[in-house]
Copies of this chain bind each other. A is one copy, B any other.
Amino acid sequence: MPGEKFSVTPYEVKGQIDYDRLRVLFGTQDLTDELRQELARLAGAPLPPLLSRGVYYSHRDLSQILSAIAGKKPFFLYSGRGPSGPMHTAHLAPFELCRWFQERFGASMYVQITDDEKFWLRPQYTREATQQWGLENLLDILAVGFDPKRTRVFFDTRSIATMYSLAVDVAKRIPYSTVKAVFGFPTSTNIGLVFYTALQSVPCFYPSWRTGQPIPCLIPCGIDQDPHFRVTRDVAEPLGYPKPSLIHSQILPGLLGGKMSSSGQEKDNALYLNDRPEEATRKLRNAFTGGRATVEEQRRLGATPEICSVWALWRSKFARDEEEFQQVTADCRSGAMLCGECKAKLTERVLPFLSEHAARREAVRPIAESLILEAAPGSTGPSGGPPIPAP
């Protein structure tokens, strides 16, 4: 709620977030209706729900990407995943948005699997586990439906030969004091995590570095990840690369209220992509809603969709079209549809999605390895690296 205390860093989200205030605090721009309309016009198609319904609500330099599209110049997409466990539906959101941009504009897509970062982040994680989860998570990401010809993967511990020279350039430009200030790290933070932001900048510059041409990057991410890329944007120009553009989403609420968790500690707080049908059904049945204390009261006063985790799922992903979304919202607000009925309807959408996702996941398994960038011996410079998709 406005006025309440909250804090947001890439490593921790606390309190009830006031998104407009956060946008001002972070110094990002409003994703206005005007910008949305311009994007829809350039796409020649309606915007996807994540954009049209305000889940993505903030940006940095989106106009750079709109100009590239309008001028038929190349740009590329980048999103990543820190692998420490199974992914849930909210994790797919930036990738789904990337896929839409790739489909509409033919852009290249770079996925980063940050298994080193996750390993450094928590004492209990092992390198073997983060690498194994990295492969599992990559299948979930690719199942979103990217064009393999235009998609490549930086898998940090496996792609390091491709990434390191550029990371070395970036690291030289970032003083420890910046990392300390931006991420709020205590001095007990390990030196891997201190270094890590250099590696997170690599995909943002890689196509420009490889081709010697300035190719802008668009990064859809949760607003909590913005600090990483603030550092990237600061070093971009001194290194001779375009600053990456960002579009930021609100943090999708968990089924129990707060942010969805992927730590495995709060399995009931999120809809995991590998949940069995009965688990998913049970979680949705128990999900936190904006409903009233009694049926009578809800019929009379209606419910509050804005605080409801079930409505958030309709909004971000499961409403088939705008008409259905408006209907669900209106029926919720009016009291025409009770929470039980709403949950049952959503479950009918979620279960087929999960089984279709599982099938797509198996379908991409044979090609996943081939998309991971792994440099051949001796190829350390821009000209000698592995193939990259045409921008």
Which chain B residue has the least Cβ–Cβ distance from A123? Answer: B172
* Listed stretches A78-86, A153-161, A272-280, A289-297; interface member: A153-161
Number of interface residues of A (CB under 8 A): 39
Within 8 Å of chain B (Cβ to Cβ): is A189? yes
Q: Give bound CA distance, A161 to B379, whole Å.
A: 11
**Is B188 a contact partner of A177 (Cβ separation < 8 A)?**
yes
Segment of A2-10, A191-199, A250-258 in the binding face: A191-199
- The stretch that binds B, out of A46-54, A56-64, A260-268, A370-378, is A370-378
Please report the C-alpha to C-alpha distance between residue A177 and residue B194 in the assembled complex, in whole angstroms.
11
B195, A192: Cβ atoms closer than 8 Å: yes
Instruction: Give every chain B residue within 8 A of A161 (Cβ-Cβ).
Output: 160-161, 374-375
> Is A176 a contact partner of B188 (Cβ separation < 8 A)?
yes
Would you call A360 an interface residue if the criterion is a C-beta within 8 Å of the partner chain's C-beta atoms? no
Chain B residues with Cβ under 8 A from A190's Cβ?
A: 171-176
- C-beta contact mask, A91-123 vs B, less than 8 Å → 1, else 0? 000000000000000000000000010011000
CB of A36 within 8 A of chain B?
no
Q: Of B157, B188, B191, B198, which contacts A171 at CB under 8 A?
A: B191
- Is there an interface contact between A187 and B177, defined as CB atoms closer than 8 Å? yes
Report how many copies the assembly holds. Answer: 2
Bound complex: CA A175 to CA B176 (Å) = 13
- Assess the A191–B187 pair: CB atoms within 8 A: no
A174 and B195 alpha carbons, distance in the complex (Å): 12
**Is A165's CB within 8 Å of the partner chain B?**
yes
Closest chain B residue to A195, Cβ basis: B195
A13 at the interface (CB under 8 A from B): no
| A192 lies within 8 A of B175 (CB) | no
Interface residue A169 (Cβ < 8 Å from any Cβ of B): yes
A318 lies within 8 A of chain B by Cβ = no
Are A172 and B192 interface neighbours, CB within 8 A? yes
Residues in B with CB closer than 8 Å to A119 are: 168, 172
- Whether, in the assembled complex, A127 has its beta carbon less than 8 Å from a beta carbon of chain B, the answer is yes
A329 at the interface (CB under 8 A from B): no
| Residues of A that sit less than 8 Å from B by CB | 116, 119-120, 127, 131, 157-158, 160-161, 164-165, 168-169, 171-177, 179-180, 185, 187-192, 194-195, 197-198, 374-378, 380
Enumerate the 7 nearest inter-chain pairs by beta-carbon distance, A residue then B residue, closest first: A171-B192, A195-B195, A374-B377, A161-B161, A177-B187, A160-B164, A175-B188
13 CB-based A-B contacts, threshold 8 Å: A157-B168, A168-B192, A171-B190, A171-B191, A171-B195, A172-B190, A173-B190, A174-B190, A175-B188, A175-B189, A175-B191, A176-B189, A191-B197
